[in-house]
Amino acid sequence: MSNQPLTDPPSLLLITWNRHAYAAPTIARLLEDPSDFRLYLWDNDSRDGVRDLITGLQDPRIVERHLHHENVGQFEPWRWFLEASSGDVLGKIDDDVLLPAGWTQQFTPLLREDDRAGMLGCWIFMPEDWDASAADQNSVEVAGNAVLRMTSIAGHSFLAQRDTLERYTYTEARGHGLPVDRIQMSLDGYVSGVPLPPQFAHNMDDPRSPHFHREHGAMGQSSLTARCLELGDEKRFGEWIAGDASFRLRTPYEAQMRRLERRRRLDDRTGLRARIERKLLRMTRKW
């Protein structure tokens, strides 16, 4: 367990870049939550009004606002956050997610009571993607609470123990996503997933969302998943997200782990064939 005080509220990081249409409602919803947390904001040189939004915020839970001079992705902001934040429980939220009130209060005690807990997150898919009966097969107990176990949790809305995140943070930048080795975390036996009953977060960058912005959304400069998979239209991306939700619910965890192990072996390979196989594995959810 961390040597950090166990009574501190969780610390949260939000990174943004030129996404005012999403960042504004995301931050507004977050600050409407009466829960106690510490918020760290990092702007990657936005030119669309996000900087003015961040500098104008008034809330005692905001600890630091870093306005960077260029877009450096997520690795540098994440390392800054680990150094700047306090407390034993840390988390990250995306700049395009409407979060439910009280989610940090539900997750924090589970993390403090069970060292097996990895990253605990909200259900980021649409409510219609949720199926409680299908979730039963992959549910395990963490600190006496049922958790839908997943092989990994994305950086959209999660909490984890500081010690765990520091242990699995990459020592150098790898791609554009959250610089935490979530695959190895699961392979090492940590339980990551969605505490039950699920806290529903709303992904505004899902093309099925009524808040989706075509000019700034997944088919533009925003969604890393859409760009990495080269999903060229909104319909295909929405179908992929729904399929991903179904895969996580209905595919037995052991089968998901075998797929994860195959992905890790592919990650260790170089060359065109390995890149193609990695992409197909992500797109088809088959192994």
In a domain, 57, yes or no: yes
- Spatial contact of 242 and 260, defined as CB atoms under 8 Å apart: no
- Spatial contact of 256 and 151, defined as CB atoms under 8 Å apart: yes
In a domain, 283, yes or no: no
What pLDDT score was predicted for residue 202?
Answer: 98
∠ Cα 219 236 268 (to 5°):
85
| Cα separation values, 159 from 8, 138, 241, 272, Å | 14, 20, 22, 35
- Spatial contact of 121 and 193, defined as CB atoms under 8 Å apart: yes
Q: Does pLDDT of 24 surpass 70?
A: yes
Domain holding 243, by residue range, is 11-250
In a domain, 2, yes or no: no
Separation between Cα atoms, residue 221 and residue 200, nearest integer Å: 25
What pLDDT score was predicted for residue 119?
Answer: 98
What ranges make up the beta strands (E) of the chain?
A: 11-16, 38-43, 62-67, 89-93, 97-98, 117-121, 139-142, 145-150, 157-161, 191-195, 202-203
Instruction: Specify the pTM.
Output: 0.88
In a domain, 282, yes or no: no
Q: Does pLDDT of 235 surpass 90?
A: no
Confidence of residue 279 (pLDDT cuts 50, 70, 90): low
What pLDDT score was predicted for residue 217?
Answer: 47
Separation between Cα atoms, residue 264 and residue 108, nearest integer Å: 29
Separation between Cα atoms, residue 218 and residue 281, nearest integer Å: 20
214-232: average pLDDT: 54
In a domain, 136, yes or no: yes
Hey, what are 17's tokens?
């870049």
In the chain, % of residues over pLDDT 90: 76
What pLDDT score was predicted for residue 268?
Answer: 66
Whichever domain contains 63, its CATH number is 3.90.550.10
What pLDDT score was predicted for residue 206?
Answer: 94
Task: Report the number of distinct structural domains present in the chain.
Answer: 1
The closest of 157, 190, 13 to 87, measured between CA atoms, is 13
In a domain, 110, yes or no: yes
